[in-house]
Structures are given as C-alpha cells and as structure tokens.
Chain A
Amino acid sequence: MILNRLMFHGGFKRLFSSMVIAEHKGDKLASSTLHAITAARQLNQPITTLVAGKNCKNVISEVSKIEGVSKVVHIDNELLDHPLAETLCPAIISVQNKFKFNYLIAAHTASSKNILPRVAALLDVAQISDVMAIKDSDTFVRSIYAGNAIATVKSLDSVKVVTIRPSSFAPSKSVTGQKVEIEEFKFDDIKCSSRWVAEEIIKSDRPELGSAEIVVSGGRGLKNQENFQLMYKLADTIGAAVGASRAAVDAGYAPNDLQVGQTGKIVAPKLYIAVGISGAIQHLAGMKDSKVIVAINKDPDAPIFQVADYGLVGDLFQAVPELIEKLGASKK
C-alpha cells in the first residue's frame, strides 16, 4: 500500500519490481524457486526472474510458465555453468544496476546462502535471511535462535535482498497463455581466481527433502549405517523423502545432505515420522512446523514426544519393519 502511494504521488513515475533469482541444475528448475516466486507474488510487484547459466533454454521456458512471472532475464555464460559466488554475484549486480529492482528474492538454499549476502554487501544493504512470512512491503518475519523465537523485522534499505524459507510458502504453479517478455542480458566480464573443480551429488529417485509431502527421518537410535537402510525402505513404501538427525549424520549413518535441523534443512511436510530421534532443540528447529508428527522411540521421556501428534514408545527394530509390511500390504 505504501508502495502504491509512492508510485502515484512520486515526482516521476517509478516502476517498483522484484527479481527472483532462479536456481537450477542442468536443464531443470529447482522446486525451491517456485516457493520464492510465491513470496515475490505477495509483494504485488511485477516479477522478473533471472536465469543465469549455460544453455538454459528449458529452464527459461519452464520459468516463464510460472504464474506471476512477467519477464525473464537470462544470461548465457560458460562460467556460470557451475556458478560460484565470485562469478554469479557480479552478474546479478550488473542486472540490478540496469533494472533497479526493489526486491531481490531467492529461496534460502545452500546456493543462495552462498551468493546473496555477497550481493547484498556490494549493494550496501542488509539481507533478510530465511523469511517465513511477508507482513508488508518492508516488514518480514523470520526465526532466530533455532526457531525458538520469531522476530518481526523492518528493513530500512531501499533495495531489499530477501531469502525465503521454502516450506513457509506454497509452490507457484504453471499456467497457460501467460505473456512473458524474455530478454537476453550480455555479461562477459568475469574475472575470477576461484575454480569449480567437482561435485559429488547423491542421486536419488525419492522426492526432494525440502518439498516432500512425507518425510521419514532416522536418528542415533538406528545404531549403524546398515540399519539406516530401514529408513529408505520405509520411505519407498510410502513415497517419502528420507531425513536424518545431526547425530545420525555425525555418526556416519546417513549422508550430510539429509540432515534436518537448524544447521541442515528446514522441512514442513504433511507427515514427519521421526525414528530413533530424541528431539534436540537443533533438530526440532528443522521440523516442528510439520503438519503431523509421529515419533517412534524406546525412551518414553524423549523430548520428541512433546511435539509428536502420535507417539509410539517401543523398539524401532520391531515397529519399523512392521510398518513397512503393513503399509506395503495396504498399498497393493
């Protein structure tokens, strides 16, 4: 509302607008970007999406169908194939210098966490991290102290760099017949002394942890890596993503990108099944906004039972195979 007033009463007409920075892998848009677009739509400003990378035709076409996107700016550059903060940041800044967006928005993912604060510092503005709700044009809600307090903050900067918590905003859907302007942006001025060397991505057919409807998560109670396979079996039986507590990751039972918690991923699925997880503050920060929480733990005093809608006190090595068997049978 304040923005609208400014637009009509300002000395000259100024277009307020938002830019969502699309995240993608190869030729596929990351689902987290759909959540970021929803957050941008709440600001009621025209939305431009930036697609930077190498050969991003599919991503550009995918993104231009997403409801609310009115323009796509794309940069095609080999050096942005595996973007580093040192390469993508100057690209974003030069797009920003041309179009003067009021909001730069991205999902709070590992990639944005890496790049956006660098962008914010070079624009001499604050970043508002991991936003859970947008109150109005300059007021945002975010969690602090591992989700144990919720802060409402007002940004005093003219340009707002915002990363949003994907699980707090529904994904935007694709629509047909949307008119979208597509503009190529030339950006070749990359001088960078860093070099991308390699990546080890764990391939999986299971849904993405950050946006899955059901998550089954294992903790230290699984005792070893072999037993942790039980979690994958349970997940496959009910079409869930697999998560893990920090204890399970630190003990080497599960790879670190499965970690749910303050220092891992924040999830809010329809159903979260915590198996052999005690429920430390760190872990609860990552899952306590799930719709329904189930805990399976042999310790009746485990803190996880304080947040669980349904708690089963018992041996997971009996309960989980039984669950797999009975849920598997009922699916057929």
Chain B
Amino acid sequence: FYKYKMKILVGCKRVIDYAVRIRVKPDFSGVETNNVKHSMNPFDELAVEEAVKMKESKHATEVIAVSCGSIKVQEVLRTALAMGADKAVHVDVEDEKLQPLDVAKLFKGIIEKEKPDLVILGKQAIDDDSNQTGQMLSGLMNWSQATFAYKIENIGNKKLQVKREIDGGLETVEIALPAVITTDLRLNTPRYATLPNIMKAKKKIIEKFTPADLNVTISPRLQTLKVEEPPKRQSGKKVANVDELIEKLKNEAKVI
C-alpha cells in the first residue's frame, strides 16, 4: 500500500572518539582536543544508519547529512556519505562557540532551505552530554518529536510510529510528519563504510554555509568558567573470599 516517501536530514557531530581517555588542560580551560582521535558521535552514526536503511527500504528519497563546526567536520560528513547519505551540508562555525540552542537554530536554517520531512539526530553528543538539540529544533520548528527512539515504523499517511525508551520501560507514540527523532543506542547497528563506498563518497557534494547565510547570530549562553578532573577514587583492597567481603561491608564500611 502507499507510503509517503520522506526526505531525511541527519545530524553528524564530530567529537573525541568514545574510546579515548580524555585529558583536562592544565589551565582548566577545557579538554585537550589537539592530536586526539576524533570520530562521528556514536548516536549520530545510528541516525545516519537509520536514514540510509529507510532509503534502502524505499521509505526515503534522499538523505542529507549536516554538520556544524570547523572545516574538520567534513571528515565526519565524508563518513556519512560513505555510509550512504546522498549529499552533505557543512555549516562553518568555530567549534568552541557551538551550544545546542545555536545548533538547533542553524539546523532550522538548513531545514528552511532543504525542506526535509524528517530530521534524525543522536539523542546526545558524548562530549557535552547535553541531550538538547533535537528537542530544541523540534520546538523551534513547532514539529512533532520522538526522542530516544528504539524502533521507527513508517505507518503511512505521513505518520510514523516510534517506540521510545523511557524510565521504567518503553513508550509508543504516533507522530505526524514533519518531525524530529533522536536515536537511542538500541535503534540499530551502524554499518562500516566499505572501501568502494568511501571512494564514491569523495565524489559526492558537500555544500557549505555560514551562520549569516542562514540568518543565525551565534550567541553562546553558557560561559565555561572552569573544567576540572573529577575527584579520583582511592583504589581499594582485594578481599580473599565472600566471608571477608561480608565482614568488611558490615564492620568496616557499615553499609549492610
């Protein structure tokens, strides 16, 4: 039966790779990012994968990958293109200045140019851990939203049914297009880009915009005063057996 075919926008943030042990700068101004391995935010990989799968199953017509940041974000856009996105958009901004509200406004600007039916973003970036951009964008657009998506189904008539992860279990909502969805970890397993696809991705187009092109003035609302290492835990002791463990918990730690 007939199902509406969507044009999909996906967000891709370039972040320090999830496996890297991060280091706080000695002047407490932030985290060391120079000469540190970066990659696509893991939640955004899920967003790209989901969009590409929708195109493969003929629910989508076009997938556009968008990233805001310095010229280096073009690496993650190439990754998205190699995973199957059709084209990419780079919004050129200083990385340090980017906060969720401004990113949402930049995405709004791109939406006005590209007119997608669906935007899929990661639920949070693993660097600032904000978990805000998708919800903010949906609010600014006055669109439907489904955050922390676990399963997305195109049920036709410009509607999607989304299973969401909530505290205590799962929730199912029905949303009308256009909409914003944010991904949770269990949505899918992102594919690896194959070498031929990486080569093909080099020929795909990356369009470039500035905030001014999108009528957005970047205005960070949170000023970072200090970034510190978290307090270190004292390494504890090994116990020989269960009896000793119970004895310590009762008499030394007094927690049971």
Contact = CB atoms under 8 A, between A and B. Distances in A.
A63 B101 CA distance: 32
A281 B145 contact: no
Contacts, number: 246
Interface of B: 16, 18, 21-22, 24, 31, 99-101, 104, 123-124, 126-140, 144-148, 150, 161, 165-176, 184-186, 220-230, 233-239, 241-243, 245-246, 248-249, 253, 255-256
A310 B222 contact: no
Given A118-B135, A145-B126, A147-B230, A257 B171 contact: no
Contacts of B144: 86, 193-194
B129 A262 contact: yes
Given A118-B139, A149-B228, A310-B236, 18 more contacts: A82-B171, A109-B167, A110-B165, A114-B135, A114-B148, A116-B135, A117-B136, A120-B101, A126-B100, A127-B100, A148-B230, A152-B224, A214-B256, A257-B169, A281-B18, A305-B238, A309-B253, A310-B239
Given A156-B222, A312-B238, A89 B139 contact: yes
A59 to B, nearest CB: 17
Interface string A134-145: 000001001111
Contacts of B22: 145, 148-149
6 contacts: A120-B136, A139-B225, A150-B230, A152-B224, A271-B256, A294-B249
A180 interface: no
Nearest to A246: B185
Contact of B130 (A127, A156, A195): A127
Contacts of A313: 238
Contacts of B128: 144
A77 interface: no
B126 A146 contact: yes
**Majority secondary structure of chain B interface residues (helix, strand, loop or mixed):** mixed
Given A117-B136, A145-B129, A323-B246, A307 B233 contact: yes
Contacts of B256: 214, 238, 271, 327
Given A121-B101, A310-B237, A86 B140 contact: no
B170 A199 contact: yes
Contacts of B150: 256
Contacts of A201: 168-169
Interface stretch (A94-102, A167-175, A222-230, A285-293): A285-293
Contacts of A119: 139
A115 interface: yes
A125 to B, nearest CB: 6
A271 B236 contact: no
A98 to B, nearest CB: 19
Contact of A126 (B135, B161, B221, B246): B221
Nearest to A196: B173
A193 B225 contact: no
A308 B235 CA distance: 7
Contact of B173 (A122, A149, A194, A282): A194
Report which residue of B167, B227, B239 has the largest number of chain A beta carbons within 10 angstroms of its beta carbon. B167
B224 A151 contact: yes
A110 B167 contact: yes
Nearest to B132: A117
Interface of A: 82, 84-86, 89, 109-111, 113-122, 124-130, 139, 142-157, 193-202, 210, 214, 238, 246, 249-250, 255-257, 262-263, 265, 270-271, 281-282, 288, 291-294, 305-314, 319, 322-323, 326-327, 330
Nearest to B99: A126
Report which residue of B24, B139, B172 has the largest number of chain A beta carbons within 10 angstroms of its beta carbon. B139
Contacts of A120: 101, 132, 136
A86 B175 CA distance: 10
A271 B136 contact: no
B22 to A, nearest CB: 5
A129 B139 contact: no
A147 B22 CA distance: 10
B222 A153 contact: yes
Given A121-B101, A310-B239, A199 B172 contact: yes
Contacts of A271: 249, 253, 255-256
B245 A310 contact: yes
A113 B243 CA distance: 43
A291 B130 CA distance: 26
A193 B243 contact: no
A177 to B, nearest CB: 33
B117 to A, nearest CB: 13
A304 to B, nearest CB: 11
Contacts of A257: 165-169
